[in-house]
Structure formats: structure tokens, C-alpha cells
Amino acid sequence: MSLNKKESHSREEATGMYGATARSESSSANGFPDAEIAPPTSTTTQREFREISKTAAPLVVTFLLQMSLSFVSVIFVGRLNALALGGVALANVAFTATMAIFQGLATCLDTLCPQAYGSKQYQLVGLYFQRCVAISVLFAVPIALVWWFAAPILQLLVEDARLVAIAAGYLRVMVASIPGFVIFECGKKYLQAQKNFTTGQYILFVCAPINVLLNYLFVLRLGMGYIGAPLAVSLTFTLMGMTLSGYIWYCARQESSVNCWNPLSNWRPIFSQWKTMISLAIPGIIMIEAEFLAFESLTFLAARFGTNALAAQSVVASVQSLTFQVPFGTGVAASNRIAHYVGDKQISNCRIATRATLLHIGGILAMANFLILVLGRNIVPSFFSKDEEVTHLAAQILPIIGVNQFADVFNVLAAGVLRAQGRQRIGGALNVLAYYAVGIPLALTLGFGTEMGLKGFWLGLGCGIVVLAISEVYCVHKSDWTKIIHDSHLLHQASAANH
């Protein structure tokens, strides 16, 4: 196929689900000059499907291994006694809820770093990374204080003083994990923007087993009790942060054609233009926290239905969290891919990559999650509990989770596209409305107002997920790619001028 035919085929693929062709959208009638849009390059839906899927695989592994760090500590503490297990489980909820702030802050790098890399403004990639670390350090101060003085806060939620004492002690030790966590979270984004999706995975291949070993030694062999668990996790995060920062420093010193590092001697720009990053980061925090708190609130409320219901809720919540990691990792891969095209001003490729993500990859992942949860409803719960009543109740709920996960795949992937576009604000607003105006009220009504119990919780929350998925996909469908690229160009132009 000749080059002209390839370009023609590419432009034809860009037409369809997302409206007019790149040429018609880039017309001056929209108020943005034609010169800002680069000539279309040749890509196809098949190529985007292949590339996004290939880069998603190591990201999914990375997220699963990182999630295992806290999970392992719960397993080892569970071998001590029920009281220690309850306290550590409570501390892990608080840990995850507050660490999500750092994860939300880092989502601004999903937009800025790959866009800068795609526009070949390479040192801006390093500058954005350094700014995000600096902002995260600023946020770390109040978070560390909350953890250090967590006991009075936890007393408002939990009546048992013994559980509060254990959870508060756990969180105090976890303060030491913050620097390593911040460096690793931001560093992953910095490398992913440069199409390096495997380094984080390789670091966790080493550090995750070390975490298991440290938990075994501290909690069981050395007799440190539950306090050994946060010590092991903190040391693991510190090792992860040090290893990744060492790798980044090593790469920055290599002679290469593409160097994305901003020399630390040029430190003044690191502490300027924070407003842009924070305006992208705050909606990212809202997106993550809104979903996390919605799901965790159901776990707390499930205790009102009895011990077995709470156990079943814990099982299905764990299954939901595991199946969520696959579309989430894919969403991050797609976000990087599309943001590169935004930076390179390739409207046609933005459209094709978006369509490959939502229609092709999304369709496969949604169906796979649905079938695994529905067909495996009588098998999957047995991996988490041997209690027949608990597994039976969980098996009744998993088909509902399957439907929810079917919709949530499109929600997660559309959120990835919105991050690539720099439109996190839309995602943040939709998350709050979908979960707290639709999902949670319906969940409480069906759960407590009818005899459905846990089923009502998940049905109500599922309605919110469906509303969120439809809303986000619609916003992506109506994207004005010319304006998105224009705004991206102005944003990076301002940073380059300051740099």
C-alpha cells in the first residue's frame, strides 16, 4: 500500500464514532489555525490495539504487585490474633484512602509528561516530574501529621480502643513510607511518558518478595508482632523509591539522543507554575477518592447485616479490586499513547487510538471480566473463604459485580482518555455526581429499604457506575480535538518559556 493510500485509510478510520475527519475539524472555522495541527501520519486500529495491549501488560503486573504489599502484611498479622488483624485492616483502609491523594496528584503527569514528550520538548518531561515531587512533598506534611496523630480521628469511627491503638501505631510507622511512595509513584509516570513501562515492574519483581520476607521475619520470627508489618512495608517502599530514583539518575547521566532530565542546577522553574499542575491534580484526586470512598463505605455499612455478610462483602470487594486492575492498567497505557499523539498534534491518530481503546480493547475486557465473575461465581469465592455460608452469599453477589465491572471497564478507559486530553476536571465532577448523587443513595435505599441487603448495595452502586461510564464515554465522543491540542500547545509553550 502506498504512503498516500495509507494516509487516506488512516483518515477514513478516524471518521465514524468520533465525527468528522481530522482535516474538517482543524479548519479555521473553529477559531484555531490550521498550522497547529501536524500532517496526519499513518496508524490503524489494529496497530493501536496491539501497542496499547502490549504496554498495558507490564502496567497491570506492576499495579497488582504494588497492591500486594499491604495485602501481605494483613496475611501475616492475621496469623497472630483477630484483634491485631482487625486493627491492621482498619489502618490499611486509612492508609489507602490517604495515599490515594499522592496517586491523584501524580495523575497530572499522565497528561503533562507524555504530551511534552510527544511534542519533543524533552526536558519539560523531567521538569514536570520534579514539580510533581515538590508538590507531593508539600501535601505530605499534613498527611504525615494526620497519621502521627491518628488516634483521635479513629476514635470517632471505631469504639474499640484496642483496635484504635493498633491502627494508630501502624500509621505512625507508615509515615516513613511516604518519601519512597512519592518517588516511585511519580517516577513511574516519568518513565511511562518515555515509553518505559517495564522498569517499575522489574523493581517490584524484586521488592515484592523482599516485602514477604521482611513481614515473615519481623512479624513472626523476630517477635515484633503487628508493628513489624508497617516496618516491613515502609522499608519496601523506601527501597522501591531509592532504586527507581537511582535508575532515573543513571539514565540522566548517559549520553543519548533523548535526555528528558531537567538539571537540578536549573531549580527555580521547579517551584513555579504550580497552578497548572494542581488544577489537573485536584480533579485526579477527586476521581480516585470518590470511587475509593464509595466502595469502602459499603464495607463499613455491611457490618450491620452480620458477620457473614461482612465477610462476604470483603470477599466480593477483594475480587472487584483485583479485576479492576486490568482495565486500570490498560487505561494508563492508553492515556500515555493518546497523550503522545496530542503532544505531536496528530488528530487522526488521537481518534483512532481512542476508538481502539474504547470499542475494541474495552469490549474485550468488559466481556472477559463479566464472564469470569458470572461463570466463576461458585469457584472464585472459595479462594478467599472456606465458610460455606460466606461463599454462597458471595456467589449470589458476583453476577452483579460482573455487570458492574462490564460498565466500569468503559468508565476506567474513558477516564484514561480524559487524562490524556487534560480534562480531569470533567472526570472529577462526573465521579462525584455518579457515586454520590446516584450510586450511594440508591445503594442505601435498596440495601436498607428492601430485603436485598448486600445485593441492594451493589445494585445501587452499579447504577452509579453505569451512569458514570455513559457520561464519560459521551464526553470523549464529543471531544473537540483541535481545541484540546491547541490548549496543550499553549500550556507547554508557557512552561518552555519559563524553563
| pLDDT 10s digits, 78-97 | 888 878 888 888 888 889 88
Q: Determine the Cα–Cα distance for residues 456 and 377; give it in Å rounded to an integer.
A: 18
Question: Which position has the higher pLDDT, 12 or 246?
Answer: 246
Q: Please check whether residue 30 is in contact with residue 482, taking contact to mean a CB–CB distance below 8 angstroms.
A: yes
Name the grid cell of 387: 465458610
Average pLDDT, the chain: 88
Whole-model pTM: value is 0.88
Q: With bands split at pLDDT 50, 70 and 90, how would you rate the model's confidence at 16?
A: very low
Residue 368 within a domain: yes
Overall average pLDDT of the 357-383 stretch: 93
DSSP state of 40: P
How many beta carbons lie within 10 A of that of residue 303, not counting itself?
11
Angle between helices 45-77 and 199-215 (to 10 degrees): 10
Q: With bands split at pLDDT 50, 70 and 90, how would you rate the model's confidence at 391?
A: confident
Q: Please check whether residue 226 is in contact with residue 87, taking contact to mean a CB–CB distance below 8 angstroms.
A: yes
Residue 26 within a domain: no
Residue 37 within a domain: no
Residue 251 within a domain: yes
Examine the pLDDT at 17 and tell me if it is beyond 50.
no
Residue 12 within a domain: no
- Residue in the structure block whose three cell numbers are 490515594: 100
Q: Determine the Cα–Cα distance for residues 380 and 378; give it in Å rounded to an integer.
A: 6
Overall average pLDDT of the 215-219 stretch: 95
Residue 10 within a domain: no
Residue type, 412: V
Residue 8 within a domain: no
Overall average pLDDT of the 35-39 stretch: 54
Task: Please give the backbone phi and psi of residue 109, each rounded to the nearest 5 degrees, phi first.
Answer: -70, -25
Specify the number of domains making up the chain: 1
Q: With bands split at pLDDT 50, 70 and 90, how would you rate the model's confidence at 11?
A: very low
Task: Give the Å distances, CA to CA, from 26 to 20, 29, 427, 484, 485.
Answer: 10, 8, 25, 11, 10
Question: Which position has the higher pLDDT, 2 or 40?
Answer: 40
Total H helices, total E strands in the chain: 19, 0
**pLDDT (0 to 100) of residue 41:** 67
Q: Determine the Cα–Cα distance for residues 282 and 291; give it in Å rounded to an integer.
A: 14
Share of the chain above pLDDT 70, in %: 91
Strand partners, 16: 19
pLDDT in tens, 292-336: 888 888 877 887 787 788 778 878 888 888 889 999 999 999 999
Q: Determine the Cα–Cα distance for residues 402 and 390; give it in Å rounded to an integer.
A: 18
Question: Which position has the higher pLDDT, 336 or 163?
Answer: 336
Residue 491 within a domain: yes
Q: Determine the Cα–Cα distance for residues 462 and 439; give it in Å rounded to an integer.
A: 7
**pLDDT (0 to 100) of residue 190:** 97
Containing domain of residue 452, as a range?
45-495
